[in-house]
């Protein structure tokens, strides 16, 4: 079963002049008890951050936090002692675990575009940790590129504590992909740009598909497209 969610259903928030954010799930001042999570995917925020601004240091706990940089560069600092930059095409994961604080700033003169995803971990009380990798995912075409995973069969990805894998795809017009899954798994898709058909349903920019009880996900681009696909467990600890 595929649930189609149009771009217009996203919650738009602009709590500061420097931030424009679209929430795909309940977050901050947006609350919808029917839209709290999809499997362990608890937060998906599509954030645009103005130059020379950003999020000052703030705390987190008991969450796997993934940042995907689509344009610009993030300057990161945390209470674990990490001070890094994360440029376009790189992916970061923090295990908040028993607690940490971090700040994310755009210290450049160009806008910053990121996706920030939070996943409920498969166990509580983990020691906070950090990982960052250059996966060059924006330049590889017509394949699903794994970015972050807790499924240890995958290599050269950022690891997280969830039986979940986050993929990216740059799918050219008229090209097709097939993702094989199981009815006990969930599949989430979010389109950045272009147009795709997912098991016959058309998705355009910023549309979502949330899929359950499927064996195969067939994807075809009718226009050059970029999208994220997340393979999730239907049941996991903590939710």
Question: Could you tell me the residue ranges of all domains in the chain?
Answer: 7-233
What's this model's pTM, rounded to 2 decimal places?
0.96
Give pLDDT tens digits along the chain (239 positions): 999 999 999 999 998 999 999 999 999 999 999 999 999 999 999 999 999 999 999 999 999 999 999 999 999 999 999 999 999 999 999 999 999 999 999 999 999 999 999 999 999 999 999 999 999 899 999 999 999 999 876 778 999 999 999 999 999 999 999 999 999 999 999 999 999 999 999 999 999 999 999 999 999 999 999 999 999 999 654 44
Residues 178 and 209: beta-carbon distance below 8 Å: no
- Whether the CB-CB separation of 64 and 160 falls below 8 Å is answered with yes
What distance in Å separates the CA atoms of residue 33 and residue 25, rounded to the nearest whole number? 10
Name the CATH code of domain 7-233 (choices 3.40.47.10, 2.60.120.10, 3.40.50.300, 3.40.50.11400). Answer: 2.60.120.10
Cα 207 to chain center, whole Å? 14
């Amino acid at each position: 079963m595929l649930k189609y969610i149009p771009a217009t259903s996203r919650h738009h928030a602009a709590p500061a002049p420097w931030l424009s954010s679209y929430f795909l799930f309940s977050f901050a001042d947006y609350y919808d008890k029917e839209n709290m999570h999809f499997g362990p995917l608890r937060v998906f925020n599509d954030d645009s951050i103005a130059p020379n601004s950003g999020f000052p240091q703030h705390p987190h706990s008991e969450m796997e936090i993934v940042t995907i940089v689509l344009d610009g560069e993030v300057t990161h600092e945390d209470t674990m002692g990490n001070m890094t930059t994360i440029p376009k095409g790189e992916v970061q994961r923090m295990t908040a675990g028993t607690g940490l604080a971090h700040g994310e700033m755009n210290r450049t003169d160009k806008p910053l575009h990121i996706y920030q995803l939070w996943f409920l971990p498969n166990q509580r009380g983990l020691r906070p940790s950090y990982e960052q990798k250059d996966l060059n995912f924006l330049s590889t075409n017509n394949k699903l590129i794994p970015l972050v995973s807790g499924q240890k069969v995958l290599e050269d990805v950022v690891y997280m504590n969830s039986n979940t894998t986050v993929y990216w795809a740059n799918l050219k017009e008229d090209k097709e992909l097939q993702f094989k899954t199981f009815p006990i798994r969930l599949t989430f898709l979010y389109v950045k740009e272009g147009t795709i058909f997912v098991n016959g349903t058309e998705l355009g920019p910023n549309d979502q598909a949330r899929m359950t009880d499927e064996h195969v996900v067939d994807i075809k681009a009718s226009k050059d497209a970029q999208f994220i696909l997340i393979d999730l467990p239907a049941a996991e600890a903590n939710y």
